[in-house]
Amino acid sequence: MPPPIRRRAALTAAVLGGPVGFVARAAWGLPTALGAHRRRLRPLVAGSPHFCDGKFHNTLETPALAPANTRDGLLRQWHEERHVGLPGGPIPLAATSFPAGPAELAVTWLGHASALLEIDGVRVLLDPVWGHRVSPSPVFGPARLHPAPVELAELPPVDAVLISHDHYDHLDLPTVRGLLETQTAPFVVPLGIGEHLRKWHVPEDRIVELDWDQAHRIGALTLTCTEARHFSGRYFHRDTTLWASWAITGPRHRVFFGGDTGYTPAFAGIGARLGPFDLTLLPIGAYNDAWHAIHMDPEEAMRAHGDLGGGVLLPIHWATFNLAFHRWAEPVQRLLVAAERVGARVVVPRPGERIDVLDAPEPVDWWTAVGSAADRPEAVPAQGMGTSVLARAATRLLSLLPH
């Protein structure tokens, strides 16, 4: 081959090699991360009273996305306001330590919706997510805004792993793989999610699948799968697995775990049947008018806490991932205003902080000093690069949806 042709070939390979390599890395592991195909799921879930027309349904009519006539505004938000949800500075972590044995009632918030609950001498791990990105791709998707406050291998032995639904910020493949190596506890999950776990080589004897209002016992604890108002799906198909909240009841204490949900009157019924609850863990972040039906705002979380007969409220689903357009600290600020209005007790631990619920401390403001990147423009470039890439990709995907 003549030298000029060789040079052109080498240049062409160099130009194409970068994008091709990037795409290959972005797609690495996608088929596994996406979970079970709907053809495998359908025979296992079709008997549920909440499943019809090929998918699960909420009790209330619940649009999961903005209607077509509001999508243009939503696309503009992706471009123009995505950085607003970034913190203005480092998020402080607590030095995490666990007692030799589980307490009567304590909880360690591990960021987002992940928490380690100690109740009546039993440990339950809630929606554990240790992955760097809540996405099927190692390249695209919301990245952590703070490190995991403790290594997965440093957790004490747990008695159950509880999952609310199959979205990436609640069901994380790298974490499931880690728990297979470091723990022996069963995964207690809503109907259909067991098929994801089987695809990821979780042994059958470590999978417990429940429909709403079904329960499973772990020692003296009863784990009841309760209604939530949300949706499911790990990319291509929606609502093929069930979503849920959880009532965790022991001989002396009761805890409610909301996972991720919009407000629903069903909370009042859950409180009447299974409450009152000494502790509620309720989502307060990632709200937006475009998806108000599937994500509670802080005031709705406070209302749900009252419906459930809650004693102490620990807010979850904020601070760790940038999933919406509100300022980073806004959810907890609004929650505390709502709590003061009704005289509710709230705890706001730093990620990694353990709270003795029976001697719950008053909130200490650690979030104001962090602030929002929207108020500190110099903070945006360092933390916003991955988010802007996600925004462009998401915009493209949304633009392909039918109008």
What is the rounded CA–CA span in Å between residue 80 and residue 321? Answer: 18
What is the rounded CA–CA span in Å between residue 71 and residue 56? Answer: 24
Q: Mean pLDDT lowest for which of 75-79, 123-127, 270-274, 277-281?
A: 75-79
pLDDT at residue 387, rounded to an integer: 42
DSSP 122: E
| Cα–Cα nearest to 159, from 125, 195, 111 | 125
What is the rounded CA–CA span in Å between residue 399 and residue 403? Answer: 9
In a 13 Å sphere around the CA of 134, the CA atoms on its Cβ side amount to 23
pLDDT at residue 138, rounded to an integer: 82
Percent of the chain with pLDDT over 70: 81
pLDDT higher than 50, residue 15: no
In the chain the domains, ranked by start, together with CATH numbers, are 82-385 (3.60.15.10)
Q: What is the pLDDT of residues 105-122, one digit of tens each?
A: 999 999 999 999 999 999
Q: Euclidean distance between the first and final Cα of the chain, in Å?
A: 52
pLDDT higher than 50, residue 22: no
Average pLDDT estimate for 13-38: 54
List Cβ neighbours of 98 (8 Å cut-off, separation of 6 or more).
Answer: 108, 116, 155, 156, 354
What is the rounded CA–CA span in Å between residue 55 and residue 64? Answer: 13
What is the rounded CA–CA span in Å between residue 287 and residue 27? Answer: 29
Q: What is the pLDDT of residues 369-389, one digit of tens each?
A: 999 988 876 655 444 434 444
pLDDT at residue 399, rounded to an integer: 40
Helix boundaries (H) for 132-202: 173-182, 193-199
Percent of the chain with pLDDT over 90: 71
Write the single-letter amino acid at 147: P
Q: What is the pLDDT of residues 217-236, one digit of tens each?
A: 999 999 999 999 999 999 77
Average pLDDT estimate for 4-33: 49
What is the rounded CA–CA span in Å between residue 80 and residue 85? Answer: 12
Cβ proximity of 221 and 158 under 8 Å: no
Task: Name the packing angle between helices 330-342 and 298-307 (round to 10°).
Answer: 40
Average pLDDT estimate for 161-166: 98
Residue 169: CB atoms within 10 Å? 23
Question: Between these two residues, 54 and 377, which has the higher pLDDT value?
Answer: 54
pLDDT higher than 80, residue 39: no
Is residue 276 very low, low, confident or very high in pLDDT (cuts 50, 70, 90)?
A: very high
Rounded to two decimals, the pTM is: 0.87
Write the single-letter amino acid at 187: F
Enter the tokens of residue 200: 């990821």
Query: Number of H helices and number of E strands within the chain?
Result: 10, 16
Cβ proximity of 353 and 315 under 8 Å: no
Is residue 140 very low, low, confident or very high in pLDDT (cuts 50, 70, 90)?
A: confident
What is the rounded CA–CA span in Å between residue 115 and residue 149? Answer: 11
| Cα–Cα nearest to 35, from 173, 139, 164 | 173
